[in-house]
């Protein structure tokens, strides 16, 4: 990055500085889904064209952008802000899980798509969410396998992600009730 900057003129560097300051001042978290936003609600939550009964839960805003790039999903999102990780001391209260629960309790969501990453921790997080959501929402699905284990959504090519979303299947959360809260 330093090499890149050294090749640029002073004007370009000060433009970059202004852009970074604007980023710091303008970008915040969406009040509803915790996506990046410039207003109270992000561009997805404030869109009338999206299906607000179809909710996709994922770990980070970068995962959301990956799914948007795949171009299939017409619903809305909920960004957890990470994944459960007992080793790192990250529990449910460290993520936006309570906010997800209250969205599910509102009764407007017909399907919850669990799109946590296909890593061990992402899988544990998905199981936890499935157990939480089972009494609250009619249909719970997950991205189809075919996703590489240990992979991250944001690095997947669009067609793999498209297939995973198109082939999503029902999430069997029955084993998840034994997970610690």
Beta bridge partners of 54: 111
Question: Is residue 33 within the footprint of Zn ion (CB under 5 A)?
Answer: yes
Question: Is residue 45 within the footprint of Zn ion (CB under 5 A)?
Answer: yes
Minimum distance, C-beta of residue 30 to Zn ion, in the bound complex (Å): 3
| Choices 36-44, 50-58, 114-122, 144-152 (CB under 5 A): range interacting with Zn ion | 36-44
Query: Which residue in the set 7, 12, 17, 35 belongs to the binding site for Zn ion (CB under 5 A)?
Result: 35
Minimum distance, C-beta of residue 18 to Zn ion, in the bound complex (Å): 26
Calculated CA dihedral for residues 31, 139, 118, 30, nearest 10 degrees? -10
Nearest to 133 by CA among 162, 118, 113: 113
Beta bridge partners of 74: none
- 170 Cβ contact partners less than 8 Å away, ≥ 6 residues apart: 139, 140, 141, 142
Question: Is residue 66 within the footprint of Zn ion (CB under 5 A)?
Answer: no
Question: Is residue 125 within the footprint of Zn ion (CB under 5 A)?
Answer: no
Query: Which residue in the set 7, 25, 30, 178 belongs to the binding site for Zn ion (CB under 5 A)?
Result: 30
Helix (H) or strand (E) holding 62: helix 61-70
Query: Site residues (CB under 5 A) for Zn ion?
Result: 30, 32-33, 35, 42, 45
């Amino acid at each position: 990055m330093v090499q890149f900057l050294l090749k640029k003129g002073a004007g370009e560097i000060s433009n970059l500085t202004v852009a970074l300051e604007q980023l710091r001042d303008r970008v915040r978290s969406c009040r509803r889904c915790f996506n990046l936003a410039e207003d109270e609600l992000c561009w997805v939550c404030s869109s009338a064209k999206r299906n607000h009964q179809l909710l996709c839960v994922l770990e980070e805003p970068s995962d959301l952008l990956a799914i948007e790039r795949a171009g299939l999903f017409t619903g809305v999102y909920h960004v957890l802000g990470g994944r459960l990780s007992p080793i790192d001391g990250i529990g449910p209260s460290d993520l936006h899980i309570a906010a997800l629960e209250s969205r599910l309790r509102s009764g407007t969501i017909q399907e919850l798509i669990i799109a946590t990453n296909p890593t061990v921790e992402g899988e544990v997080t998905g199981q936890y969410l499935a157990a939480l959501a089972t009494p609250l929402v009619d249909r719970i699905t997950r991205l189809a396998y075919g996703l590489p284990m240990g992979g991250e959504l944001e690095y997947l090519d669009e067609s793999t992600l498209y297939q995973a979303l198109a082939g999503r299947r029902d999430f069997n959360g029955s084993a998840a009730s034994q997970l610690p809260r």
